[in-house]
Structure 1
Amino acid sequence: MTETNHDDDRALRGETERIVNEIAQELRTLDSGTTWFSGLSLRQRKKALQEVAKYAMQAHITAADGRAGVARAGVKPTANPSVMICMDPPRYGFSGLPAGEHVTAFRVLVSVFAVADTRRRQTHCKNACGHSWHNLQALTQQQL
């Protein structure tokens, strides 16, 4: 891997993290995030899906989170990504889905992450959170 690819991957990870957390905190719409995702190359989409799946795992998603996220995503519950995320335990490997299912997988993963992360912000991190990604509104206001 060249240094340029490494730098590009790091930049993509940072951008993915920011956009996904903005969607989760309702600072950006899911449609806006989907438009960003759709503009990525196939390689970048696969990397972004791996990142978002990692965020979902770290948020300790449940099957209930999966069902709520699928409903929020506006995706058919029978679509492959919907079925995968609603299993108990959830199945990952979204980047291995056919390219035609990547946008659906992104919408499902981000929506499920948003459900789980909102729950965690309201319980585990309530009033004492040091996670910078949970406080994007405060960070945005400080930058103004």
Structure 2
Amino acid sequence: MTETSGEDGRVFPRETEQVVNEVAQDLRTLDDGAAWFSGLSLAGRQEVLREVAGYAMQAHITAADGRAGVARSGVKPTANPSVMICMDPPRSGFSNLPADEHVKAFRVLVSVFAVADTRRRDTYCKGTCGHTWHNLPAAAKRP
């Protein structure tokens, strides 16, 4: 998977997919993922937030996943992204939050995705999964 960004500061989807799934599977720390995210341009961060929100929705997050993810994220439960993800149904529009809330939104979205995706890997996909993003090699573990 590519590790590069476009010349316009946007991130290619496969890079985002790799980083998010590594964080979700504890192959990369949330802090490392947030540092990667922080290094992106404004347009890149907005694109990643849209993408990660899509991953979370595809994982069929629940309000309980939202609460567990917020607790895991290190973001205050009263922060805008935390409130948005815990609503039933969860709100969208994370990329429209002010730029100073983007890192919080990333941490919340990735953490909630990790909770929901772990549940799905442990139930629906257990032992029969062919999803490449559910089968990342442990050797890819990053600090």
Q: TM-score, normalised by structure 1?
A: 0.89
The aligned counterpart of 2:59 is 59
Alpha-carbon contact 2:9-2:44 (below 8 Å) kept:
no
Q: How many residues align?
A: 137
Counterpart Cα distance in 1 of 2:69 and 2:52: 13
The structure with the largest helix share of the pair is 1
State which structure, 1 or 2, has the greater radius of gyration over its C-alpha atoms.
1
SS in 2 for 1:19: helix
In structure 2, relative to structure 1, the CA distance for the partners of 1:121 and 1:101 (3 Å cut) is same
Q: Does residue 1:94 correspond to 2:61, yes or no? A: no
The aligned counterpart of 2:70 is 70
Post-superposition shift, 1:82? 0.2
SS in 1 for 2:137: helix
Partner AA of 1:125 in structure 2: C
Post-superposition shift, 1:8? 7.2
In structure 2, relative to structure 1, the CA distance for the partners of 1:44 and 1:125 (3 Å cut) is same
1:50-74 deviation per Cα after TM superposition (whole angstroms, max 9, x unaligned): 0000000000000000000000000
Partner AA of 2:32 in structure 1: S
Q: Does residue 1:113 correspond to 2:113, yes or no? A: yes
Listed as ranges, the gaps of 5+ residues in structure 2 are: 1-5
Identity of aligned residues (%): 74
Aligned 1:5-44 pairs, distance under 5 A? 12-44=12-44
Listed as ranges, the gaps of 5+ residues in structure 1 are: none
